[in-house]
Amino acid sequence: MNAATVLIGGAGLAVLVWVLAKLGRAFAAIAETLAALAFLGLALWGLVRVGGWIVRQLATHWRTCLALLALGAWWRWLGWPSLAVTAGSVGLVALVWRSGWPVGFEQWCGRWVRAWWLRWAVYGRKLPGWLHACGLTVRDEAIPVDVTVNLVSRRRKREAVAQSRRDAGVAFPRVLRVRSGPSWDEVRVRLVPGQTPEDFGEATRALATARRVTRVQVREISPDVVSVDFMRRDLLASAVSCLPLPDVAEASAVDLRRVFAGSTEYGTAWRLPLLGGGAHILVAGASGAGKNSVMWSPLVSAAPAIRSGLVRVSGVDPKGMELAYGRGIFCRYAVSGKEALEVLEALRDELERRKRAFAGQTREVPLSQEFPLELLEFDELAALTRYTDRKTRDAITEHVSVLNTQGRAALISVRGYVQDPTKETVPVRELFTRRVCLRVTSKSQVSMVLGDGAYERGAWANRIPESTPGVGYVWGEGIREPLRVRAGWVSDATVKALENYVTNGGAQVIDLAQNRCDSNGKGAA
């Protein structure tokens, strides 16, 4: 190899090294640029996620966020001694306020503070575990089963739930809002895909056990949002009083479409219609369950209208005891099957008369003293629709069916009371537009009265204790979930006072054995 060849080879190698060096620096610059862009993108993505989280927290928990910001600013500018003194003063004022004026404290302060505390200390921390244990989460089948099984140890259970969240294998309903009232906590949650409100309704007993309360109510707010209500204490444990009889009252002051009947489990007034849609009411309950309270409490509330003649009450009392105690209230009164047929025939004649008078003129008879609301109180309905001779039974069933199907527009309402709600005992059961289930003897009777699915949704009428007469469940027109109620208790003295109030007001009491209502619907003298 001569010198020229070595020189050329060395030069070529030098050029190659120089080119590689240049390319290496270029690749390094490109790599540095790409790394910088990736870092900036990751940082920007993180900022967006953090910003979105902050915005969501501000939108969802804006009260807590503002409170924390205010406390932080106070501590930063005024120091912690002044903050401690102010917090102690506020606590002392709240304690005095709660002791002296509990109603005002609850309305303006107590419920908000309690809801905030329950949101962060109870439901936000524990509800995911309760829902998971009750099967109210959606799990990806690819996740191993041992991740989602129920564990005995509370610590291991929390760890399993946290791990499931990290693995994104289990989707949990999200808590949207917590409201706290005197007796109920309302926890509003958003469902995850794959869940329905019925899933929560079927798990009410399991949720009650998890929360260690006696009752849980699930209400559908929207297709993907439900309110899980936990009852902390029972407002219906003590008796509810009926309305007092007014000294002087105008009949127009009584709203016959919303007559006071008692109280609901939420502490609000329970109202029943005597007129219009839902006025045909069937009340079922065992002996001593409080059916008489459901009967008398609305009559006490409607006393001014009965006294003025805008409401005319008829009574069928197979026992001859309950309605007889307030006999003067009833325009028509019957005990035997024959007398019951006469009462029903009179009401049916009145129905036909009103149909002839108003056909083609109006869709509902206007309420007046000439055409009052005809209200039939039918106690012990099964005694005459089941336990009597066949001819009388069939005739009574036919008349009640006609009144229930045609009476609403003609201002005729039927309210029946029964102990055994089976179809064989009460063949017209389905014709009552609103039904009330008091204490019954078996779980199957709940569905007989309120319909399929009522028990699963929380209408546990077979579990009502005998010590709480008048407590029951309503699931009728306009009510999607069973509502627990308690009818106002009416004493014997109140019944006699009602009778005196009505008769002294000029109401014409008709003795069925001697007189009948005339063709104009007015009582014959």
Q: Which domains does the chain have, with CATH numbers?
A: 106-137+172-231 (3.30.980.40), 251-504 (3.40.50.300)
Helix, strand, coil distribution of the chain in percent, nearest 5 = 50, 15, 35
- For 202, residues 6+ apart whose C-beta sits below 8 A from its C-beta are 456
Report whether 14 belongs to an annotated binding site: no
3-state SS assignment for residue 334? strand
494: confidence class by pLDDT, cuts 50, 70, 90: very high
3-state SS assignment for residue 210? helix
Question: Among residues 360, 399, 356, which one has the least CA distance to residue 376?
Answer: 399
Report whether 290 belongs to an annotated binding site: yes
In percent, how much of the chain has pLDDT > 70? 75
Q: Under a CB-based contact definition with an 8 Å cutoff, are residues 202 and 174 in contact?
A: no
The confidence score (pLDDT) of residue 65 equals 67
3-state SS assignment for residue 510? coil
pTM of the predicted model as reported, rounded to 2 decimal places: 0.69
350: confidence class by pLDDT, cuts 50, 70, 90: very high
Tokens of 57: 């927290």
Report whether 79 belongs to an annotated binding site: no
The confidence score (pLDDT) of residue 166 equals 44
In this predicted model, which residue has the larger pLDDT, 53 or 365?
A: 365
Please write the tens of the pLDDT for every residue from 423-462: 888 888 888 989 999 999 888 899 889 888 888 777 888 8
The confidence score (pLDDT) of residue 412 equals 93
Q: Under a CB-based contact definition with an 8 Å cutoff, are residues 407 and 413 in contact?
A: yes
Tokens of 89: 């003063």
The confidence score (pLDDT) of residue 83 equals 61
In percent, how much of the chain has pLDDT > 90? 25
Q: Furthest-apart CA pair in the chain: how many Å?
A: 151
Highest-confidence segment of 93-102, 126-135, 356-365: 126-135
| DSSP label at residue 275 | S
The confidence score (pLDDT) of residue 59 equals 59
Average pLDDT over residues 79-88: 68
Please write the tens of the pLDDT for every residue from 390-416: 888 889 999 999 999 998 889 999 999
Is 80 exceeded by the pLDDT of residue 512? no
Highest-confidence segment of 16-25, 256-265, 385-394: 256-265
Mean pLDDT for all residues in the chain: 79
Report whether 292 belongs to an annotated binding site: yes
| DSSP label at residue 406 | H
10: confidence class by pLDDT, cuts 50, 70, 90: low
Average pLDDT over residues 302-324: 89
Residue indicated by tokens 């009083």:
241
Please write the tens of the pLDDT for every residue from 117-129: 888 888 988 898 8
Find residue 431's DSSP bridge partners.
none
Task: Tell me which amino acid residue 326 is.
Answer: G
Report whether 337 belongs to an annotated binding site: no
What are the φ/ψ torsions at residue 219 (nearest 5 degrees)? -120, 135
Residue indicated by tokens 């240049």:
22
In this predicted model, which residue has the larger pLDDT, 108 or 301?
A: 301
Tokens of 70: 């205010």
Question: What is the distance between the alpha carbons of residues 100 and 103, in angstroms, rounded to a whole number?
Answer: 9
The confidence score (pLDDT) of residue 504 equals 72
Report whether 521 belongs to an annotated binding site: no
The confidence score (pLDDT) of residue 20 equals 62
What are the φ/ψ torsions at residue 243 (nearest 5 degrees)? -70, 145
Tokens of 423: 């179809």
